[in-house]
Structure 1
Amino acid sequence: MLGHTALTTTQRYLTASQDEIIQGLLAHHARQDRRPAQPPPAAGYDPRSLEVLFGGTL
């Protein structure tokens, strides 16, 4: 508990500010833009079945 008598006193260390959240979100999207394209499904898999299982389009 970081030497505190109550766990609630650690909230100031564990609560992100709005700026930290926005920076984290922007960094996440920047990483997603750099991610390589996913390979097509392996032969024998029906893409429609994979859409049902994983959602969205492949």
Structure 2
Amino acid sequence: MNSTLRTPTDRACENCGRRERWDADRESWRVEEPGNVYCIHEWDINGEFVPFDDADV
């Protein structure tokens, strides 16, 4: 059984609204909206993102 790991492509801070998008060419997060530079970002990880497809498991 092969499983493919999926990764998120965008994220947002719940505290300041900073938005980032994954840049596959640079292999890093790219800032879309800066938010507060002094914020300790809390990303919108709420359990809805599933890293494995049901068909793969």
TM over 0.5: no
TM-score, reference length from structure 1: 0.23
- Whichever structure has more helix as a proportion of its residues is 1
TM-score, reference length from structure 2: 0.23
